[in-house]
Structures are given as C-alpha cells and as structure tokens.
Structure 1
C-alpha cells in the first residue's frame, strides 16, 4: 500500500487519491486471478518477514504482550491470507442456477465481480488485524482499496504506511494516515463500499456521508456483550476472554456477567468452590498479586480512555461494589483487572460500553431472567452462555438477539473463519471473515443466457384471449388449465 504520510488531506487531495485508485481499477488489473493471488502472497510474506515490526508497533500503542499480539492479530491475519489463497478460484467461480419454464430453453448463472474502489476505516484496539483482515477480503474480491488506520494507534498506523508499499501494488492499494480531518475529507468522496470498525457515534457520521452517494456500508461496532453463567466451570474462560483480550479493550470482550443469586458467591470467592478455581484466584494466577506489574496485561490506550474508565470505577453507585482489583496507575496507563459484584443497573458502568478491565456482575433470581434483561437493551455484538443445560442453551440461542454467540467459552467464535462476524442493530450491520469477507466486497450478478431457438409467440402482443388463458395457466402452474389452453390454441 502506498502510504500517504500524515499530511493533511483536504477535499482536493482526497479526490486525487480516489481518482488514482479509480484509474488503476479501470485498467482491469485488479480483476485477474494473478493480481489477487500476488497481492495476497505479498501480504503473507510481509507478515512473515516483518513480524518484529508489527510486534514492536503493537507494544508501543497498547503495551500488548508479544504472544497475545501474535495469536490475536498476526496469526489470524495470516490465516485469512492463506484461506483466501486456497479458496480464491472456488469463491470466484460462476454458480450455475436453475431456470424456469418461462425462459425455456435457457441457462442461468451468478457471476461474482468486484465492487470497485472501497474504503476501509480501521480501529485502534486491534490495529493490525482490523486493518489487514478486511483488506485481505477486498483484495481477494478484486477491488482497489484505500485503508485509513486509526490515529489512536499511531505506531501501527505508521508501520502499515511504511511497510506495505514495499510488498504490494501501490497503484491499486493505498494507505492514508491522519485523524478527523483526513477521515472527513475521504468520506466526502464517492466509494463503492465502506467498511468502518469503531463506535456508534462515528458510525452514524460514516453512514450519513455514504448515503449522499448511495454507498453501501459495513459497520463493525460493539456494545455491552453479556455473559450468562449457569455453570461453575466458567472462570478461566471468562477471564481470558475479558482480560486476555487487550485488557478488556475489545468489542467482543465480556462486558458484564449475569448469574443467579445461588451461584454469584461461587463465581467470585474461592472458599465456596471445591471443583474449580473461582474468578479471583484465576486472576491472581494469570496476573499475579500485583497485576499492574504484569507483563501479560495490556495498558489502556491513552489518558482519555484511562480517565473514562476511572470515572466509571469511581461512580458512587459502584465504588463499594469492588470485590477484586481496582488498582490503577495513570503514569503507566494501567488498570488492574477489576470485578464488581451486584452492580446497580442504573450505574454508569452498566449504561455504556466499558471497553476496559472492569467486569460488573449482575445478580438475578433465575437465570432465565437474564435473557429478558439482555433483550431489553441494544443488541450486543456478542453474547455468551455457560451452562450444561441443553434446553437452556437452545432457548438462549433462539431468544437472545446478538451479532454472534459462543457457548461455554468467550471470543473464540471470532477466530472461526467459517462463521460470519458482524453485528445486528446498534452493534453494526454486514459481516466479514473468510468467504464472508470476499462476499462483502463482491457483487453477485445474475446472468440469463438464451439461444434464438424456442421462440414462444404467446409472450408478444396482441394479447388475445387464447394467449391470456395459455400464459395464466403456464405461470400459475395449472397443468390441467394448460392442457385445455393448448387444445383451444390448436383449434
């Protein structure tokens, strides 16, 4: 990708970049299998040869542990590349479909073609994966691409703009760095599709800008992803999904837990549990007695988000609800994994997406109350259930609205490229991952082919009574009426 640096982009500058991409796309180069495969192989080679640069950038932006960066960002992006290379021919192959009597004799097929020039606006919390994963899908589908990385992760943004031009076609795939001004200028242009990952406030701005040009959008947002706990085997999987995912700074990280009164103490306090380790003990095992000193815990991305999270924690309605954690260090931008028990529903922490290391636990009389509680709120990006009760599991899947679900674990559905990843309602629209990424950036064009044989005069005016009887019987599938009409026609 051609890095455009951090110079400001006004409307004229952004128009020039888009014009260059349209010219390149117009040459037809991005449509060929060879070009697509070459770009995917180049991206894969970049990730293999420059892994250290990626790890360094993620550490600079988020203090992210190296293994976490590799598993949750680099490895997933590499898998997306490998899958696209393996399946590219099959994904793009025309799909034969059936025809009807009305067009007999004929054949029909669905042709997959690229949309054109697409814009991808990435997020800061997984700044490498959330940039490369949709780019891989857009390139695999044969589009020209402009990537706008998040300015909140400046090291990763700079790394993408610096490294990618060394590996891929700079005329068809570009990067523009910058902030609000650059993004605003880019959104003024006409795109053939926009994929935005981030929050609902900016998503509304993106959608309004896209509407001016009737540009379709994919919005990957977030929300308060709930965890319903009806089983005492949940603690490690909840903990790694929450704090092992960027210290809670993940759109699919567990946002809050709902559990029955009878189980809440078992979930939190070790002395009540004989069969599994409880959440508090699990956190000490994961991050030690001084989690702020742990090298396995990401820091908060910046001081603004640090203060936002401490404001949630210092709310009078929850300040006495802390049963574990609560430590913070503004100098290092670190907040310890924090568990809050029996949190009021009208507290600040329960009325906005947390996106950090705070985990409220809501206590209910009956586990099925949790379903109504979830559905009374905006649909989340993810919903989780821990249970050994298959009937409860089936009811959860049927009745709870969410972008995606994981039963008896957290976040792992994101890594399955056979599943679409996307939101519903307030948590987003559209989906990607694997073939869904390819489809997201493709147009399915229906094509019907006929010969000059088999002409049927009844389809043409004037529409006599005989023609009307024959056509109505044919279109209604009325075999008896069709026979009568044909007999009448013969006479």
Structure 2
C-alpha cells in the first residue's frame, strides 16, 4: 500500500489481510500512545476533512458524474456537499460540549458518592461506504468518528472508482495514515476489510451484504452500525392536498434517479383518487424534467448491472399483470444513449408476487397501490419487514398520529420525503432488517464513543460500614434499606 496514494494493489488475499492489519495495529498503537484527543485536535481534524472536500469540489463533481455515466451537478452539490459540510460544521461547533462528562444521580444508599458518564473514543473505526451518495456516506460517518476522537479506516465503493480514488488522494493529502486511511479496491478488499478487528465497524449498503458484514464482524466480536434499506412506504391520506404531496414525492423519488436508501419505494393512495394522483404525478415529472435523455438535472442509473436489474423488474411486473406507465415528456428514444438513464416509470396494479414488490427498488420505478380505508395501508406496512423510512401525507393530526403510532420504521416524515436525513439533530438509522444503530450529529458522536460509567467514592461513606465482620450495626442498616 502506498502512503502517498492510500490505495491497495494487492497480489492476493494474504497481502490484503496483512496490509489492513498493519494499518490497524499502527493506528491503534498511536491512539493508545497519544491518548484521547482534546477538543482542539478534534475540531482540527474536522476542519481538514471539510478542506479535503471543499478544496476539491470541481474534481469531485467531475468524478461522481463520470462514475454514474451522468450525475446531476446540483444533486451532488445538495446531497454530497451541502449535507456533508453542514454536518461537519455542526459537529465542530458542538463537540466540546458533547465531550464533557455527564453527571448521573447517586442512590442515597451509597451517599456521598457521585456518578458520572465519561465519553471515551473507541479507538479505530472501520467504515464501509456505498456508491449512491459516495461522498456523504463516507465523509459523514468519518466526521462522526473523528469528532468522537477515533482513528478511521475507510473502504469506499468500487462502483464509483474515480470518486473513491480521488477520496484516497485528498485524504492522504490532509491526514496522516495514522489518523485516517482509505482502502480502495474490489470485492476482495471489501471482504477482507470486514474481517478486521476494529473497535467499531460501520456499514452502509444492501441488507443482503449487511448480513455478511455482521457475520464477519462477529468473528472478532466487533460491534456494528448497519445502515441498510428496505421498501420505504408512502401513504397519501384521502383529504391531503394532492399537489403538495405529489411535489414532495416526485422530488424524493427521482432525486438521484431513485438511487436513495430512503426514497419512497411504493405509494399508497385512496382507490378513488388514484387517477387524479397519477395525472398530477405525470404533470409534476414533466415540469421537473421536461426532457430526460440529455437533461443535466436527471441522473443516470449507476451502471449496466443495475440498469439491467431495473429493466428486469419492469418486465417481470408487466408479465405478471402490472400496467406500466413510462413518464417520458419529450418522447425520447432511450435505446441508444451515452449513460444508463431510465425514464420515471409508474407501475399500477402491482402484487406481492412481482419482484418489484419484494426487494428495494433503488431506481426510478414507483409502484402505486390503492386502499379504501387507511387501516389497509397500515396493515400492509406491518405485514412486511420494517423499513428505513416511512412517509405519511395528511392534514389531519389524528391520521398522522395513527400512522406514526401504529407503524415502526427507522425514521419518518409527515408531509415530506427524504429530508429527515438532512437534520443533524435527528438520528439516522434503521430498525430490524433496515439496520441497527444510528448516527448524525450528537447521535453520531455517541455511536462512536464508549460511555464509561464512573463512580467516585468519598473518604467517609456508608459502604465502609457494610463490611465483615457483620453484627448488629449491619442488621439495623439492612433493616432500613429493605423497608
């Protein structure tokens, strides 16, 4: 591994394992020798992370777009730059306060002892990041780990190789390898990376891969944070302002061409409102994307593999009876194109035997289901694995509360989609199959910190009177304590 470039050129599995373990051991030794970093050093590391991002803005924009075939520059700026920079700024502002010990009450039985929680860095944090938001989902967890005082080892996705290589370069320019090391490479590097005995491992990606990562981490009893996914439902109430619902759903669904872990995966609408909803959806898509093929605002599917997968979902649904509505305002031909763009595609009359209703879509396809009573939508959600996000559109507080209280999801929005992820004071994470653990803001600091319980005993205390040899004094004290 080259220190200057922070990347692998492995000859085999043993070479990968040796190089990873070497960096881990050196980071851990240096961490122990230096001790927990003070607030000034943590803020300095956060500033360097932001500098690595902002000083290379144009290069990152070009690399991300090239990796996708085409990725909207404005979407990259909004999701990968603004969200990441705001998160780093938030942590730098608050980290000194978060580091302070937290006082806890002490039982009168142990008076006059005192209790507190001390927040200690875990040590070395491993991060495996995905391709869909390659900067945000790498730098965001890294910022939380650095704010908590840790060292970082990062494995970005091989599906966005230009971005990953640039990331390795700019991190090496701004950090010592003992602070932050980046490991690029294919699946063989990812497999080896998940086997390393970190002090904590964070993975963002598909549920199916998350199972393998958790299994590998368990071999070393490494605690994990898993940010997975699932089929995030959207429920539109009968009396909701339809234009407002449609505007948010179009933005949340076709942002990044649907390649977002919290994108609306399917929508429930009242059966007598379906045609109105579909008509307004088509108009809003045409307004947002009057053309698609050469429109800089409309992002491509990331590669041929995912393009073929999504086309297969459409074909499978249509073969099993779904009505397919391709929203193609410019009536463009997508048979030949420089990227892998797929027009926004609505799927009507979907059933659970269709593949599109079985796995997370992660693309610009939107199944639409109907209900007569909102309880039917709630029951459907509860009959399926718990999602990463859930969205309810309703102007009725009783309906909002009913959906929120009777469903379980990692996060949720009322009359909005996706944007809860951009709130630094809200934890972001899944539940059940959609993930475990959470981060962002203070919750990220806590996720990568050890909460050490500390009891401080006073010189003269009641406990000293409860030691052998026992006699009448302890009998009286026990009688008092047991009342």
Shorter-chain TM-score: what band? over 0.9
Aligned position for 1:294: 295
Aligned counterparts of 1:86 and 1:333: Cα–Cα separation in 2: 41
Q: 1:173 to 1:2 in 2, by over 3 A?
A: farther
Aligned counterparts of 1:32 and 1:350: Cα–Cα separation in 2: 49
Aligned position for 2:219: 212
* 1:184 CA drift (Å): 1.9
Aligned counterparts of 2:350 and 2:192: Cα–Cα separation in 1: 43
Contact 1:249 1:357 in 2 (8 A): yes
Aligned position for 1:236: 247
Aligned counterparts of 1:296 and 1:15: Cα–Cα separation in 2: 43
Aligned pair 1:40/2:46, yes or no?
yes
- Deviates further, 336-345 or 351-360: 336-345
Aligned pair 1:445/2:452, yes or no?
yes
Map 1:34-73 onto structure 2 (within 5 A).
34-62=40-68, 63-73=70-80
Contact 1:29 1:35 in 2 (8 A): no
Contact 1:122 1:149 in 2 (8 A): yes
Aligned position for 1:273: none
* 1:458 CA drift (Å): 4.1
- Deviates further, 164-173 or 369-378: 164-173
Aligned position for 1:422: 429
Aligned position for 2:404: 397
Structure 1: which 5+ residue stretches go unaligned? 270-277, 479-491
Aligned pair 1:96/2:103, yes or no?
yes
Contact 1:422 1:429 in 2 (8 A): yes
- Deviates further, 341-350 or 112-121: 341-350
* 1:10 CA drift (Å): 2.3
* 1:461 CA drift (Å): 2.1
- Deviates further, 319-328 or 148-157: 319-328
Provide the alpha-carbon RMSD of the alignment: 1.7
Residue 325 of structure 1, aligned match among 324, 327, 332: 327
Aligned counterparts of 1:328 and 1:355: Cα–Cα separation in 2: 19
* 1:259 CA drift (Å): 1.2
* 1:348 CA drift (Å): 1.3
Map 1:12-411 onto structure 2 (within 5 A).
12-28=18-34, 31-62=37-68, 63-230=70-237, 231=240, 232=242, 233-244=244-255, 246-269=256-279, 278-288=280-290, 290-315=291-316, 316-317=318-319, 321-325=323-327, 328-329=334-335, 331=337, 332-411=339-418
- Deviates further, 421-430 or 324-333: 324-333
Q: 1:234 to 1:318 in 2, by over 3 A?
A: farther
* Structure number with bigger Rg: 1
Q: 1:456 to 1:251 in 2, by over 3 A?
A: closer
Contact 1:291 1:337 in 2 (8 A): no
Aligned pair 1:11/2:17, yes or no?
yes
* 1:292 CA drift (Å): 2.3
Q: 1:401 to 1:3 in 2, by over 3 A?
A: farther
Structure 2: which 5+ residue stretches go unaligned? none
* 1:463 CA drift (Å): 3.5
TM-score by length of 1: 0.91
**Residues 219-269 of structure 1, C-alpha deviations (whole Å, 9 max, x = no match):** 00000001001121311110000002x100010001000111111111012
